[in-house]
A and B are shown apart, each in its own frame.
Chain A
Amino acid sequence: MGYLSLVLHWHLPFVRHPEHPQFLEEDWFFEALSETYMPLLSVFERLQAEGVRYRITLSISPTLAEMFKDEFLQNRYLAYLDRMLELARLEVRRTTENPRANRLARMYLHRFQECRRAFKDRYRCNLLDALIRLERADLVDLITSTATHCFLPLFQVVPQVVKAQIEVAVQTHVGNFGSYPKGFWLPECGYYPGVEEYLKEKSLSYFFLETQGILFAEQRPRYGVYAPLYCPNMVAAFGRDPESAKSVWSSQDGYPGDPVYREFYRDIGYDLPMEYLKPFLPDGNVRVSTGIKYYAITGPGDQKRLYSPKAAEKKVVEHADHFVTARINQCRRLSARMDRPPLIVCPFDAELFGHWWFEGPQWLEIVLRRVAAEQDSISLTTPGQYLSQHPEQQVAQPCFSSWGNKGFAEVWLEGSNDWVYRHLHQQALRMSELVHRFPKEKGLRKRALNQAFREMLLAEASDWAFIMKTGTTVPYAVRRTREHIYNFTRIYDSLMTNRLQQEWFLEVEGRNNIFPKIDYRSCVS
């Protein structure tokens, strides 16, 4: 007998550009709504309706939660769906000569129609309520992450940032979900010894770690990653199981790389003539992916076969069965060496499911069903539930780690992005200076202080450093970093000299309007 704990981390950075009629990077959110967030919700809701018992932990990043409830983005998503519906209809017409492609075009049309219907009618444009319902039904544990997905190990020198990122996250979570998060998702599993002190201050009782964070603890972990460790202050650390992670994450050896699954990189946005796509592309001349993809992974090389949903469906069942059987065997193997039931922790980026791995939500649904049927050998749990059943665990200080390349901090601190930290640390020092200088403000000055705080947090998003490193849309990441530092500094200077340019300020406040209830005094050193 053993436990399986699935954790899905839902996150996107705050991207909202009312100053432009259409903005490409907002599509990250729209695509994830259509491909990941709504499909996952419908899996969870379907299982609930059928009475299938499951437990799963969802970490919803504060930036994403704020975007879910943002009316401006909700309306833009509907407009986006209308464009996609039109494109899908054109595709149905364009492919009439090719019955197999035509079936796929109809599939996409149907999916976009379903998205629109679900988003408007079922969710009333706001996914937060659906998440709350699942938590109230005791099927889902909702936890939070840092306010703007700040990679904490690189902010040790400005602890006011670590504190503020956690505090704003918890406040926002309570405001959005009406429940207190019991645990915490450290962005990118970025951990440094001591961060648990700030978690404890906010009564957060557990977090997740990369495998080596546990394995290289100050004292050898008695059960490897198959039981949590308590940090010396009794906040629990759960380590990622590498065996199951590999089977799901890996694009080569893992399930998502199977030849029959849908190919992520072949999109009509890149394959069809510009003239045809024009009305659907940003600025009418920039190729982007549309989500309409006709090919299967097939194999290496550019020669791809058309995607067959039937073949994929068969494979999904196989892969889900394989996953559950492998976990049961793993539990057996581990149980023989442990004096308590082993716990297998599988954290994933939610966007793996549906967006990157098209068939992912289906796979997850079957896994949840299978595990529910195998309760004698394996059962689903959440870290909170596990800790209440097994409160006695080894105490040891975990090791500095992340789930990035090689397990430390090099993704977020290297030649392309190291320049940001000088500025980010400086603005944190300045923010604390503002708090000391203006401890009790009202009116416009208070709003300016709160906005400075928002700009500071937004600049600290690890997404920007990540993009600079991986090179997908670097100018945007650089621009966002500079923009928030610039806005912060301008507000800082105006407060120091008592000269705030109102028109500019109101425009910035209206645009970067995340965390409406923020209190700048949270940033004290």
Chain B
Amino acid sequence: MTKERLQSISLEELEVLARKQGYELTGAADRAALTEFILENFKELERAEENNLAIRVEQSKYQGTERETTDHADAFPIEKRYNQTRVVFMVRDPNWAYAYWDLDNNLLEKLKKNADGDRLVLRVHDVELIDFTGSNANSSFDIPIQIDDTSWYIYLPNQNCSYILELGIISEDKYRCLARSNPIRTPRNSFSDNFPSADQGLTLNLLSGFDTFEGFGSSSGIPQRILAVHRE
């Protein structure tokens, strides 16, 4: 999955990603080397981010075996797509959301035939504190997608902020919205600035484990096995 996603982004973006993870570039960038480095780094991150305590205990409930499944996956065929033009947005953590979408068969055929000029995009709108009409977002950015893509993880710049996603098409520099998602709101990853009263709050919040709690301050890392390209 990750490898495929890495293959789908430009060499320049690969370089940026690799550098962010501490890769020291000497001479011309080699796509294979960069990919390998990033993948290796992901594995490291996964190990470092070992499951937290509650999850480890829970894991022990589900005994695993070396057994191969006896049922072939084909025993329960399910649809891949649902022949509808739709996009759904799901919040995952303060910085990342997941989007999946679908195009109805007619549209899909048309796009496939007409692949030259048209570009599919996901348009992310910051709609904090506004009643979104389609053109009044606080800010927006586009993520180019391929016709065969069906889902993507999207990095969102602001915590505690509302977003709406559009699946759209750009032809001859003109944007047309095909489907609009449900709104989502990213959670905050810090204390609110709103105090119940001037003198209270912090000490007890500190006693509530601010310094020991493992969830704090760790969200800047790149989530596991996931890559999305953030463009503004």
Binding site for B on A (CB under 8 A): 12, 24-25, 27-28, 31-32, 153-154, 156-157, 192-193, 210-212, 214-226, 239, 241-243, 245-246, 249-251, 254, 264, 282-283, 286-289, 333-334, 337-338, 349, 351-352, 355-356, 394, 396, 399-401, 403-411, 413-416, 418-419, 421-423, 425-426, 463, 466-467, 470-473, 475-476, 478-479, 482-483, 485-486, 489
B93 within 8 A of partner (CB) = yes
Asked if B52 contacts A405 (CB within 8 A), the reply is yes
Q: Beta-carbon contacts of B83-120 to A below 8 Å, as 1s and 0s?
A: 00000111111101010101000000000000000000
Q: Beta-carbon contacts of B211-231 to A below 8 Å, as 1s and 0s?
A: 011111011000111100000
Question: Most chain-B CB neighbours within 10 Å: which of A156, A241, A471?
Answer: A156
Q: Which of the residues B90, B200, B206 comes within 8 Å of A413, measured between beta carbons? A: B90
Known: A225-B208, A264-B60. 17 other contacts (CB 8 A): A28-B62, A212-B215, A215-B205, A218-B192, A224-B208, A286-B66, A337-B207, A349-B61, A355-B61, A356-B60, A396-B196, A406-B215, A422-B82, A422-B151, A478-B73, A485-B76, A486-B78
Q: Which of the residues A211, A251, A410, A482 comes within 8 Å of B93, measured between beta carbons? A: A410
* Bound CA span A226–B1, Å: 43
Asked if A426 contacts B63 (CB within 8 A), the reply is no
Name the A residues within 8 Å of B93 (CB-CB).
406, 408-410
Which chain B residues (167-215) contact chain A, with CB distance < 8 Å?
182, 184-185, 187-192, 194-197, 200-210, 212-215
Q: Which of the residues A193, A405, A425 comes within 8 Å of B55, measured between beta carbons? A: A405
Name the A residues within 8 Å of B8 (CB-CB).
none
Name the B residues within 8 Å of A223 (CB-CB).
204
Q: Which of the residues A221, A245, A403, A472 comes within 8 Å of B205, measured between beta carbons? A: A221
Asked if A219 contacts B54 (CB within 8 A), the reply is no
Asked if A219 contacts B192 (CB within 8 A), the reply is yes
Which chain B residues (56-78) contact chain A, with CB distance < 8 Å?
56-69, 71, 73, 75-78
Name the A residues within 8 Å of B69 (CB-CB).
475-476, 479
Asked if A216 contacts B204 (CB within 8 A), the reply is no
Name the B residues within 8 Å of A355 (CB-CB).
60-61
Name the B residues within 8 Å of A153 (CB-CB).
91
Name the A residues within 8 Å of B131 (CB-CB).
none
Task: Please give me the residue from chain B that is nearest to A31 by CB atom.
Answer: B63
Given the known interface contacts A249-B57, A415-B226, A473-B64, the answer about A479 and B71 at a Cβ–Cβ threshold of 8 Å is: yes
Given the known interface contacts A246-B53, A406-B93, A421-B90, the answer about A220 and B195 at a Cβ–Cβ threshold of 8 Å is: yes
Task: Quote the shortest CB–CB distance from B4 to chain A (angstroms).
Answer: 11
In the assembled complex, 30 residue pairs joining A and B whose CB atoms fall closer than 8 Å, in A order, are A12-B61, A28-B61, A31-B63, A211-B208, A216-B191, A219-B195, A220-B202, A221-B205, A226-B208, A334-B207, A349-B61, A351-B58, A351-B61, A356-B60, A400-B185, A403-B54, A404-B54, A406-B215, A410-B92, A413-B90, A414-B223, A421-B90, A421-B98, A421-B100, A422-B100, A466-B59, A470-B51, A473-B65, A485-B78, A486-B77
B79 within 8 A of partner (CB) = yes
Given the known interface contacts A223-B204, A351-B60, A418-B151, the answer about A217 and B192 at a Cβ–Cβ threshold of 8 Å is: yes
SS class of chain B's interface: helix, strand, loop or mixed? loop
Given the known interface contacts A249-B53, A475-B69, A482-B78, the answer about A215 and B208 at a Cβ–Cβ threshold of 8 Å is: yes
* Bound CA span A242–B208, Å: 7
Given the known interface contacts A217-B192, A249-B53, the answer about A338 and B79 at a Cβ–Cβ threshold of 8 Å is: no
Binding site for A on B (CB under 8 A): 1-2, 49, 51-69, 71, 73, 75-79, 82, 88-94, 96, 98, 100, 102, 150-151, 182, 184-185, 187-192, 194-197, 200-210, 212-216, 218-219, 223-226
Question: Most chain-B CB neighbours within 10 Å: which of A225, A408, A475?
Answer: A408
* Bound CA span A266–B176, Å: 60
Question: Most chain-A CB neighbours within 10 Å: which of B2, B67, B98, B215?
Answer: B215
* Bound CA span A475–B58, Å: 18
* Bound CA span A222–B201, Å: 5
* Bound CA span A399–B60, Å: 29
Asked if B63 contacts A473 (CB within 8 A), the reply is yes
Asked if B67 contacts A467 (CB within 8 A), the reply is no
Asked if A349 contacts B57 (CB within 8 A), the reply is yes
Task: Please give me the residue from chain A that is nearest to B199 by CB atom.
Answer: A222
Name the B residues within 8 Å of A349 (CB-CB).
54, 57-58, 61
* Bound CA span A485–B77, Å: 9
Name the B residues within 8 Å of A351 (CB-CB).
57-58, 60-61
Asked if B60 contacts A254 (CB within 8 A), the reply is no
Asked if B76 contacts A224 (CB within 8 A), the reply is no
Name the A residues within 8 Å of B197 (CB-CB).
222
Task: Quote the shortest CB–CB distance from B167 to chain A (angstroms).
Answer: 14
Asked if B63 contacts A413 (CB within 8 A), the reply is no
Task: Quote the shortest CB–CB distance from A273 to chain B (angstroms).
Answer: 16
* Bound CA span A24–B70, Å: 12
Task: Please give me the residue from chain A that is nearest to B151 by CB atom.
Answer: A418
Task: Quote the shortest CB–CB distance from A458 to chain B (angstroms).
Answer: 13
Q: Which of the residues B94, B102, B200 comes within 8 Å of A222, measured between beta carbons? A: B200
Name the A residues within 8 Å of B190 (CB-CB).
216
Q: 9 closest pairs, A vs B, by CB?
A: A242-B209, A224-B208, A475-B69, A407-B215, A408-B93, A249-B53, A400-B187, A472-B64, A224-B204
Task: Please give me the residue from chain A that is nearest to B189 by CB atom.
Answer: A216
* Bound CA span A483–B150, Å: 22
Name the B residues within 8 Å of A215 (CB-CB).
191, 205, 208, 210
Task: Please give me the residue from chain B that is nearest to A242 by CB atom.
Answer: B209
Name the A residues within 8 Å of B212 (CB-CB).
242-243, 246
* Bound CA span A287–B64, Å: 10
Name the A residues within 8 Å of B223 (CB-CB).
410, 414
Name the B residues within 8 Å of A32 (CB-CB).
61
Q: Which of the residues A192, A217, A250, A416 comes within 8 Å of B225, measured between beta carbons? A: A416
Asked if A157 contacts B188 (CB within 8 A), the reply is no
Asked if A239 contacts B208 (CB within 8 A), the reply is yes
Task: Please give me the residue from chain A that is nearest to B84 by CB atom.
Answer: A426
Name the B residues within 8 Å of A288 (CB-CB).
63, 65
